[in-house]
Amino acid sequence: MADPDELLLDADGRMDGAIQAFERELNGIRTGRAHPSLVETLSVDYYGTPTPLNQLGSINAPESRLITIQVWDRGAVSAIEKAIQASDLGLNPAIDGQTVRLPIPALTEQRRKDLVKLLNNKTEEARVAVRNVRRHAHDELRKAERDGGISKDDIKRHEEELQKLTDDHIATIDAKSKEKEADLLEV
């Protein structure tokens, strides 16, 4: 039988993991400013193997509207160019030897609205992930109660703690989402 306190600790850790995954998703949503995280996890078909872009070169943002990628292998430049063009980032790479330059155009009003919709979808996915962790932990608590190892009062107390954990994590997700939305709508 699982210890309820350990169940809550595990649920907390998994909810934190959902928030970290959400933060990585947020970094991939483009605002009007250049940031290396925008492209670093972009998958590139490198000699038949999907490889994250940050493993093929060094990525920098020397200006607020420019990302540069210094590619280590000259043979990977065209694959990187294709991956960027195929992505939904809406960026047009300029090749200069082993350097790929990505000028970041200003966001149009329509593109901002589309990105806010995308942000709202990602936010809801993160909330669902946290709720799924809560549901799983709740099922485990009920199972422990059925097995007779825990009293109804203890179950009730642990369920309340679990709900508080869930509410705290969802509030964190909502705060991060609002912050990103303000960034997106900033002209």
**Quick one: 114 and 177 in the same domain?**
yes
**Quick one: 118 and 181 in the same domain?**
yes
**Quick one: 82 and 54 in the same domain?**
yes
How many degrees, rounded to 5, is the angle at CA 136 between CA 151 and CA 5?
45
pLDDT attached to residue 131: 96
Please choose, from the candidates 61, 71, 59, the residue with its C-alpha nearest in 3D space to the C-alpha of residue 95: 71
Task: Give the end of a domain, one of 103, 135, 160.
Answer: 103
**Quick one: 42 and 22 in the same domain?**
no
List the pLDDT tens digit at each of the 187 positions of the chain. Answer: 468 888 899 999 999 999 999 998 887 776 667 788 888 888 999 899 999 988 999 999 888 889 999 999 998 999 999 998 888 777 889 999 999 999 888 778 887 888 888 899 999 999 999 999 999 999 998 888 888 778 888 889 999 999 999 999 999 999 999 999 988 887 6
**Quick one: 42 and 67 in the same domain?**
yes
Task: Give the end of a domain, one of 103, 120, 135.
Answer: 103
Distance CA 27, CA 122 (A): 12
The CATH number assigned to the domain holding 16 equals 1.10.132.20
Domain that holds residue 123: 4-27+108-185
pTM: 0.70
Task: Give the end of a domain, one of 82, 103, 124.
Answer: 103
Q: How many domains does the chain have?
A: 2
**Quick one: 84 and 43 in the same domain?**
yes
pLDDT attached to residue 32: 67
**Quick one: 175 and 119 in the same domain?**
yes
**Quick one: 17 and 62 in the same domain?**
no
pLDDT attached to residue 24: 86
pLDDT attached to residue 186: 77
**Quick one: 79 and 118 in the same domain?**
no
**Quick one: 43 and 89 in the same domain?**
yes
- Report the interhelical angle of 4-27 vs 109-146 (nearest 10°): 170
pLDDT attached to residue 1: 47
